[in-house]
Amino acid sequence: MNPSDKRKFGRTDLEVTAFGFGTAPIGNIFRSIDEATSEAMIERAWRAGVRYYDTAPMYGHGLSELRTGHGLRWRERDELVLSSKVGRLLKPARRSSIDFAPWHDAAPFELRFDYSYDGVMRSFEDSLQRLALERIDICFIHDIDVFTRGEEQPAVFEQAMDGAWKALSSLKEQGVVRAIGVGVNEWEVCHAALQRRDFDCFLLAGRYTLLEQDSLDQFLPLCEERGAAVVVGGGFNSGILATGATPGAKYNYAPAPDDIVEKVRRIELVCKEHDVPLAAAALQFVVAHPAVPCFMAGTRTVEQLEQNLAWFAHEIPGDFWSTLKEQGLLREDAPVPA
Ligand SMILES: NC(=O)c1ccc[n+]([C@@H]2O[C@H](COP(=O)([O-])OP(=O)(O)OC[C@H]3O[C@@H](n4cnc5c(N)ncnc54)[C@H](OP(=O)(O)O)[C@@H]3O)[C@@H](O)[C@H]2O)c1
């Protein structure tokens, strides 16, 4: 599979590359990345033909949008597709009063949730200023899931389906954005949102991967029916599908539990038999689903990026996938690469 292959973005007139550049790491999630590495990764991705970049105001409290804009500002704008998100406003504050976790050396702004019509319009304008770009192509309503909002989630979801939806629909009608959607960590929330509103797309993190395919039951079939595109982020489940079952491997941003480590070990045995790197299987599996045009990959170093690009292109024999299915390690009905 070629990382620079262009794929139709659902029912919209956009095309994205099959491999996307996720910018949570250059917002300094968990630890800092220096400016030179951030620039070098964007440059390397561009040279490899990667033309879809995803950022958000939350990442590094604005730092990721600043760095993404810096890396992309002088490229031919029509050649690339950019997504960002709405739902948090950034307010200047003293560093000592800001809760930065999990971001390191972030920008001095505190995050305030706001899914109202006015808040979303303001958030969108602020993103353009930080990026110093004239437009954002795809805009997701960010983090209206239980994972992020806990008990408040039902109320937050309602506000988003009203104010945020109206604001994004208006931006789309005006031609300011070309696709609108929801970016969360739970397929159930995406499914509920698609039942309520006519979204073009979703950024689903961690819930359609080599380890988890419950979204095949209801959500992904509905996306196919409606022509909604699903960008899969967190396709390494935050680490373990890239590193393998090594000590300290991460699953969903925390140490991997025993049952997950065991499942990854069993998948790794099949990988060994077929001479397939685990991460190559993780990357390529996701984009075999007809509703998924893109794997949004997060990387921390140029070396990781190069490795991921190579894994994306690694040839995988067809019987690898059938063995995973025979051993109950992959759902029978999961589409696999041809
Ligand atoms: N709610 C949302 O809308 C949402 C949520 C999550 C993600 N996203 C998007 O999706 C993107 C990707 O998600 P993600 O960054 O959270 O997770 P991910 O792609 O599952 O994992 C990224 C991590 O995997 C490890 N990794 C990647 N390539 C590797 C390699 N070649 N070798 C070893 N380890 C490797 C790195 O961990 P180490 O840092 O430990 O080295 C990296 O930080 C984000 O950047 C963002 O754009 C959106």
**Nearest to 291, CA basis, from 234, 242, 228:** 228
The answer to whether 98 touches 62, Cβ cutoff 8 Å, is no
Q: What separation in Å is there between the alpha carbon of 297 and the centre of ligand 1?
A: 6
Name the one residue in this structure whose structure tokens are 């909002």: 149
Residue nearest atom 11 of ligand 1, based on CA coordinates: 22
140, 153, 236, 307: which to mutate for ligand 1, most atoms within 8 A of CB?
236
Share of the chain residues as helix, strand and coil, in percent rounded to the nearest 5: 45, 20, 35
Q: Which of 54, 137, 145, 200 is catalytic?
A: 54
What count of Cα atoms within 13 Å lies in the side-chain half-sphere of residue 15?
8
Q: What separation in Å is there between the alpha carbon of 213 and the centre of ligand 1?
A: 18
pLDDT at 238: 87
Give the pocket of ligand 1 (CB within 6 Å): 22-25, 54, 140, 142-143, 183-185, 203, 205, 233-239, 242-243, 296-300, 304, 307-308
Amino acid (1-letter code) at residue 334: A
**Nearest to 198, CA basis, from 159, 172, 231, 233:** 172
Atom nearest to 30 CA in ligand 1 = 39
The answer to whether 65 touches 55, Cβ cutoff 8 Å, is yes
Q: What separation in Å is there between the alpha carbon of 266 and the centre of ligand 1?
A: 23
Specify whether 54 is catalytic: yes
Q: Where are the beta strands (DSSP E) in the chain?
A: 6-8, 15-17, 19-22, 52-54, 81-86, 88-92, 109-113, 138-142, 179-184, 201-205, 229-233, 250-251, 254-255, 294-298
Structure confidence by residue, pLDDT tens digits, 185-223 = 999 999 999 999 999 999 999 999 999 999 999 999 999
User: Which helix (H) or strand (E) is 173 found in, with range?
Assistant: helix 165-173
Q: What separation in Å is there between the alpha carbon of 296 and the centre of ligand 1?
A: 8
Q: In the numeric block, which tokens belong to residue 65?
A: 């949008």
CA-CA distance, 136 to 122, in Å (whole number)?
14
Specify whether 85 is catalytic: yes
| Sign (positive or negative) of CA dihedral 38, 307, 136, 113 | negative
Residue nearest atom 16 of ligand 1, based on CA coordinates: 234
Q: What separation in Å is there between the alpha carbon of 83 and the centre of ligand 1?
A: 16
Q: β-strand 15-17 against 6-8: which pairing, if any?
A: antiparallel
The answer to whether 317 touches 274, Cβ cutoff 8 Å, is yes
Specify whether 59 is catalytic: yes
pLDDT at 253: 86
User: Which helix (H) or strand (E) is 286 found in, with range?
Assistant: helix 278-286
pLDDT beneath 50: ranges in the chain: none
pLDDT at 201: 99
296, 302, 308: which to mutate for ligand 1, most atoms within 8 A of CB?
296
